[in-house]
Structure 1
Amino acid sequence: MKVIIVDDEQIIRQGIKTFVPWEALKCTMVGEAANGLEALLLMEKVNADIIISDIRMPLMDGLDLSRELRLKYPDCRIILLTGYEDFDYARKALQYQVEDYLLKPVGDDELTKVIGKTVKKLEAEINRQKKNIQLKNMIIENKESILKNYIENLITGNIPDSRILPKIEDLHINIFEHGIYQLIIIFPDQDFSEILIPENSFIIPYFIDRQEGRLVLHHIDPLEDTFFKNLKSKNISAAVGSKVAGISNLQDSLQEAESACTYRCFLNSPALIHQSDKEFFKTRFLRMLPDPLSYEDVEIRIIEMFHSLHPEIKDLLSSLLHSCVLDGNRQEDFIRYCRRFYNLARKEVERKGIKISLNKNDPFEKVNIYDPWKTIQEKTEQIFFGLEENVLNSSKKQFSLITSQTISYIEKHFKENISLSYIADTLAVSESHISRIFKKETGINFVPWVNKYRVEYSLDLLASGEYKLYDIADLSGFSDYKYYTRQFKRVMGISPTEFRKNLLSPQK
């Protein structure tokens, strides 16, 4: 610590310099002065930490010096010495926040003790300031994370009203308790890089159906609010909550924004969805679709369609989608129906002896259940068009009567313990003859065909999410769960567990 001694008597200054153990006190003498004016001039050069001063001095006494030091150098510590036991001196010393007030003659031990105590206070203050600087730096470095957590707690009501304002002051966040606010949910996959966030508004990550969007805490400027014009000009889609007075009512705005957010699946172009007009988007979307059909009618027509290769799959899927929406079904329900009808169509094609080449993987695994209806509709159409194209490009060789009867028997009795020998006895032909004809026309042996059919049947059960895996194995004709798992992986390329997980995970 840097120390200045101020006294108009040279002998006293010299005594203090000589007899105080400065090094042991972690102090350094940086100067001395004969009066207050000299001390102030010296302070401008050395900015000392501790001033030891007499009170009665010419030109400027110790009390006036204390007053000036407190104004110009508020962090320095002042120790006053005086030969007069005057209460008025003591009162003024307290007024100027003097560290200590000692009566002359002062013993070396007493002065050393007072200086040591002052040094400890200064060190404690320096450490406190260092910690404050470290804390401020930490807040600056982690401002986004701290702000995110704070606003999340604010919106969810986890910060009591009594603590809101102190918390804001601690974090230096410009949130006004009685301002007008509005919460906006920016949907995932929106290019938000060029959007200007208004002053005193904040943006944090916000997950919608496992996909990362943005939540904007918008402080409304009553004079000029151009934020929504900016969103529209950049073709941003978002759900808009109501305007609320005060940050304690943000939950009401969030509830409305989340309610409007559920209607984003009906968008076919960028739009801002408000609670009051969310039904408009659903109605407009349904008007673009053909009349709805029952699920039974869709199943029958799909089988008929692929039996005769009739190219009306797009209208049929649109009618199915219309029915799903009217029945309150979600996107994943529509995908499950489509997967079932797709498998039925593929089996119908194979029943007629048309060989098609398809990937082992489930073609629907890349259809994101959280996409808008329009996107899901287009992806599903492409899957059916792919099947149709495979059919058109494949040879249309019809199975023989024996093979057709064998396949028909499998489809009716696949849940039973069927064998090729039993079918041979039923058709009154040898087992080896059936085996040879079946392999020649289908390209695979009897048992792999049966297992393939059972695995394909199990796909709808897996997609429903209503059954445990060992129950699905049993319902699909597999008596052994481990054997079912091996055959599933051979046919589909992945395990049943992975298949079900893929159905529930959003795909990018």
Structure 2
Amino acid sequence: MYKVLITDDEPMIREGLRTLIEWEELGFQVVDTAANGKEALQKAERYSPDLMIIDIRMPGMTGLEVIETLRKKDESVHVLILSGYADFDYAKKAIALSIDGYLLKPVEEDELVEYLQKLKSALDKETDLQQRQSEQVEWNMERTIQAMLTSAEEQLPVQEGELAGAGLLWDGYNVALIRLQHDGKEAEPSERAAFKKRLCQVFDEKGRGTIFISELHIGLLLKENLQFEQVRKAVYKEIEALAAELLLEATVSAGGRVKRFSEINRSYEEALKLLKQRFFYEGNQLITQATEPVCKAEDCTPAPVDQEECADIIDKMYFALDIGNEAAIDQLVTGTGHLFITRGCSEQVIKSLFVQILTGVLGKMSQHDADVYARSGQVSVAIMEIYQLTRYSAMERHVIQLLKGLNASASQGDSADKLMRKMIDLIQRNYDENLKLESLADVFNYNSAYLGKLFKNTTGEYFNTYLDKVRIEKAKEFLGQGMKVYQVAEKVGYANVDYFHAKFRKYVGSSPSGFRKK
């Protein structure tokens, strides 16, 4: 709708023009009226009308004086003059001021409509031209920025005059990058285009910055100084609110402030690096070099995580679940994540490792718990949801929640007697697993030497001796059922048959084959 301001000293004329025609059907809206020239100028300043209808003769400031004053500030506003009679001297002066028409009172509806139709056509053309010019300027600025991001200073010199002409001659520059998602997936091109348009309205059109596209990200070259926390928070809230309007989620990073336009590629590279590491930062904030990651690796030593380490973690998590120790589960998940980060693992590697570990724990639990086995399909789907999570902290909470969901007998702490009963029960039910005192110490949150001493005081046996005796007793049962020696060895937890032979002879006094013949 094009805005109209009506000015006449007669109330009946002002209100009559308001109701004479259906303005909105013709593409216009009467935003206000004024009773004199001074009021007309004040309201013109407030509303920036596209069309003013002005009485040529008014007490005080005449209509022509109003138009003369307007033209000094705004040559583009369209004007229709109202007059009670034909006054050719006034008409000549008005023509010199580039008016669009001359209406005699009382105003004829058809005549006014005819003028408005012509003005609507002219305004549409002007708007289209302004839009194309604006888009051209925007495109030129975006191309200039994009070229600077990928070129060295000496390869692409930019003169101050060019920057000033493009509106880019500032005291300093910050590059911010925005990644948009919808329901955990990358935003569609149409969604990014709609967001970019809203971003332009808030930043570009208000002279606060300029927008550009960088791969799948939307870039924002900011005039504001993001070194100040208050500014960072304010900018992030604005971006977050704009994304929320379109039901999108925004992750925002920003590089350091640079003084010269030719250095913006440095700020851009910093922002891009931070955006790629977004998984390791909390949400709801603008990520900069000063932002602390959720899990900081002080001494990062890049190295792969091998299968043996994963198997050990699986065992510990399984044992923690088996004895119902929620505190141990929390510590194991946190410690495991920290291990992966100190090894320099990427987001995808960390997610894959946790999926592997949880799948292994689920497999062990399913073998010993019918309820878990019945829910294993549902749990497997929940495990795969790890890949959709965009924050490390959210993934950590998800993993802990999944593990605790497998555990029906959680407890925070036990007395020494109860602890030993749980440990003995665990050995009796899991003798075929890779049981180690050090692993169980981690699960029970005890020093391994102290736990070993406590175990011997309770059972009268060292941990490894007790485990061997439990395994050998079970082996005797299986041999009595006619199982082959290598099958029995594997079934009671000995991967090496010769080692099983040695242990069996030590505790029974004969070989497994000899025992079976008795």
Give the TM-score normalised by structure 1. 0.39
Give the TM-score normalised by structure 2. 0.39
Q: Which has the larger radius of gyration?
A: 1
